[in-house]
Amino acid sequence: MDATLPRILEMHIPAEMRYISLVRRGVRSLAESMGFPREDVADVEVAVSEAVANSVEHGSIPDAGAAVVVKCRICEDCLVVEIEDQSPAQCLPSYSHPCDTITERGRGVMMMHALMDECEGTRTDHGIKVRMSKVRGRG
């Protein structure tokens, strides 16, 4: 891994769908810089995109100037990504038990679980935080 890489990359974006591509590019660039195989880079990119889309769609109050915070941490051969929104919801989506494939909703969470090595969601004082990690070369 390049010693000049930042240990933490933090992005604050407005809670709008049009900013998801910015996050995708940033995460893709970071994973590539860490030497992740092409398939793993794509997995991380899709999982993070789904998590941010969920935060924008479900975790923000429309027209309230809400933001989504994306933190990427480099830990040796692992990339940890946290996505935090300002969700007023009291119930937490099931990040520990992905949905079945018959329902119309929840497939993004299922994909996040399938593509990342770890995926969990927690309620914070400010909203919902999703934490996902991917180890380089694990597949």
Q: Is 30 helix (H, G, I), strand (E, B) or coil?
A: helix
pLDDT category at 82 given cuts 50, 70, 90 is very high
Query: Which residue has better confidence, 112 or 60?
Result: 112
Question: Which superfamily does CATH assign the domain made up of 8-135 to?
Answer: Histidine kinase-like ATPase, C-terminal domain (3.30.565.10)
- The model's pTM: 0.85
pLDDT digits (tens, 9 = 90+) for 40-70: 999 999 999 999 999 998 877 666 778 999 9
Question: Which one, of 134, 138, 139, lies nearest residue 28 by Cα?
Answer: 134
Q: Could you tell me the two tokens for 88?
A: 């007023």
DSSP code per residue over 74-122: EETTEEEEEEE-----SSPP-SSSPPPTTSSS-HHHHHHHHHSSEEEEE
Q: In the prediction, which pLDDT does 60 show?
A: 72
